[in-house]
Amino acid sequence: MALDLLLSSKDAERRLWVALGVSLVIVSVEVVGGIVGRSLALLGDSAHLLTDVLTVGIAILTLRLGRMRHTPRRTFGYHRAEIFAALINGSTLIAVALVIIYQAILRLEQPPTVQGSLVLTVAVIGLIGNLAVTGLLAPNRKTSLNVRGAFLHALGDTVSSVAVIFSSLIVILTGYNGIDPLIATLIGVLIIRSAYGLVRDSTNILLEATPKQFELGKIAETIRSIDGVKGVHDLHVWTITSGLYALSGHITVDSDTIQSGSAVVEKVSAKLKESFGIGHVTLQMERESLERIQRENTML
């Protein structure tokens, strides 16, 4: 499990370095194009892409920190650095989106003249770059919350580029400049939508909530199915970092089983890893009366 996580981490980092380089080039082109072309939609897209640069940079840093050795002071190492970064990235995205929407509302009253042809050219370049970054990060988006954050940024930028292309075509064909702040507002809404899930998931991890893919009742039932286990209570399951889960709890056993308790714990740990992928299992054994065991089996 640890080797798989390490290999996945190194592959993700290589992809992130390439994504960082591509994003830096695109944001430079879009900032210049947005200023010269007087397009808030294009500037909004470049602002979104600028947060991508920050996202990818932090993602690279946290992946490196996550590979550092554990210490007596930090017994889980720096795995949670990834989750903190994901929370910061999501929050930053929402803040940027609100600024874009605010500026778009101000511009709706008196839209400036947009240079449609220039904006179209720059937006097409941005679309090509964003598609490349999205495809680059897609393979690792399910194994790392931080890479998922960078992927969502790139995916949002891809949609934004399409929207900017659409708005520039409207300007060229009809001369209606009001479409630019309208598209900028749409981009802001899309950014908030993608960022919300990232903030929610990272917050749940920091609060040590049960991972959404796990049902605590089903886990308890699996533990009780092991020979020798009579009951389970005080059960907790949480995420340390992306793909790394931990569990702690109390199991009750009868008097005969208590002597071979280590074997029971090993069986439970192996079953939890096989069925749910939970790698860190801490269990405390208790010898209780039949009445207490029956009561525990009705609760977690």
Residue pair 285/259 in contact by the 8 Å Cβ criterion: no
HSE toward the beta carbon, residue 98, CA cutoff 13 A: 8
Q: Which two tokens stand for residue 44?
A: 């909004």
pLDDT digit string (tens) for the chain, length 300 residues: 443 444 456 777 788 888 888 888 888 888 888 888 888 778 877 777 777 777 777 777 777 776 777 777 777 777 777 788 778 878 888 888 888 888 888 888 777 778 888 888 888 988 898 888 888 888 776 666 667 777 877 887 787 788 888 888 998 888 888 888 888 888 788 778 877 887 888 899 899 899 888 999 999 999 998 888 888 989 999 988 777 899 999 998 876 666 666 788 888 999 999 899 898 899 988 876 544 555 555 555
Question: Which string of DSSP letters, residue by residue, matches 64-91?
Answer: HHHTSPP-SSSTTTTTHHHHHHHHHHHH
236: helix, strand or coil: strand
Residue pair 136/26 in contact by the 8 Å Cβ criterion: no
- Among the listed residues 282, 197, 208, 263, the one whose alpha carbon sits nearest the alpha carbon of residue 241: 208
d(CA 41, CA 181): 6
d(CA 58, CA 61): 5
- Model's pTM, two decimal places? 0.69
d(CA 271, CA 27): 49
* Full set of structural domains in the chain with CATH: 2-206 (1.20.1510.10), 216-296 (3.30.70.1350)
